[in-house]
């Protein structure tokens, strides 16, 4: 199984327009492959939408993307308000549970993406696996992933919180569970965004 995380930067003030156009088409699109979640930024890089799709493998992704275009199902007509697009293919971390598509979590989400030195992702996986259970008890993850094609050595993790205050409370508990894990390697780059889920996102607070 792979997850594709697509990140679009759009023109300021057009997020409602982007979500409306996408929401009108997404019901038919998810008949072809599952949408994990659809989010827009509140803190961090503004005017950004992030959508996460699940596929069996790269061949499945190619097949589905061809079908939805051929059948006129996708993509929504957002080209005139889209500035940049980025796509990364992620593999779920081996300790990540296989969650149901529809999940009642949030409404605040945090996406953190780290880039590590070459060859160190196995060390990160090992360190995280040792106390991930304690971390997931504090707040649920949407997903934890790494790349092995495209931009290499990326480590992405997305967490759900009940509020900004809840996020602060959770982070205060990190020291008591030995978080973040000590892998012996430090990220080269780190980025962080706080997001809300679109009304049509399978992962959202209901």
Write the pLDDT tens digit of every residue in 149-163: 999 999 999 999 999
| Closest of 85, 78, 13, 6 to residue 38, by C-alpha | 6
Residue 4 contacts residue 151 (beta carbons within 8 Å)? no
- pLDDT at position 70 is 97
Q: What's the DSSP call for residue 117? A: P
pLDDT at 173 (0 to 100)? 98
- The model's pTM: 0.96
Average pLDDT over residues 1-14: 98
Domains detected in the chain: 2-197 (3.30.70.100)
Task: Convert the pLDDT of each residue in 17-55 to its tens digit.
Answer: 999 999 999 999 999 999 999 999 999 999 999 999 999
Helix (H) or strand (E) holding 7: strand 2-10
Exposure letters 77-101 (e unless 16+ CB within 10 A, then b): ebeebeeeeeebbbebbeebeebee
| Beta strands in 12-153, from DSSP E residues, in sequence order | 35-43, 48-55, 82-92, 108-115, 141-146
- Sign, CA dihedral 147-150-153-154, equals negative
pLDDT at 2: 97
36 close to 54: Cβ distance less than 8 angstroms: yes
| pLDDT single digits (tens) 91-112 | 999 999 999 999 999 999 999 9
**Distance from C-alpha of 183 to C-alpha of 94, rounded to nearest angstrom:** 16
Calculated CA dihedral for residues 105, 5, 99, 75, nearest 10 degrees: 90
State the first-to-last Cα distance of the chain, in angstroms, to the nearest integer.
27
DSSP helix/strand/coil, 163? coil
């Amino acid at each position: 199984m792979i997850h594709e995380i697509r990140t679009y930067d759009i023109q300021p003030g057009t997020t409602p327009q982007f979500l409306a156009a996408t929401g009108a088409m997404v019901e038919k699109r998810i008949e072809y492959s599952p949408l994990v979640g659809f989010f827009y930024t509140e803190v961090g890089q503004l005017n950004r939408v992030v959508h996460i799709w699940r596929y069996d493998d790269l061949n499945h992704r190619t097949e589905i993307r061809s079908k939805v275009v051929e059948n006129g199902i996708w993509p929504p007509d957002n080209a005139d308000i889209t500035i940049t697009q980025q796509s990364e293919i992620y593999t779920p971390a081996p300790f990540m549970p296989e969650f149901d598509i529809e999940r009642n979590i949030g409404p605040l989400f945090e996406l953190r993406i780290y880039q590590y030195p070459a060859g160190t992702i196995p060390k990160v996986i090992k360190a995280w696996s040792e106390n991930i259970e304690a971390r997931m008890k504090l707040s649920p993850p949407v997903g934890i992933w790494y790349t092995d094609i495209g931009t290499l050595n990326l480590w992405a993790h997305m967490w759900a919180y009940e509020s900004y205050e809840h996020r602060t409370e959770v982070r205060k508990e990190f020291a008591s569970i030995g978080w973040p894990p000590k892998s012996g390697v430090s990220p080269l780059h780190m980025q962080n965004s706080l997001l809300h889920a679109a009304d049509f996102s399978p992962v959202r607070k209901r």
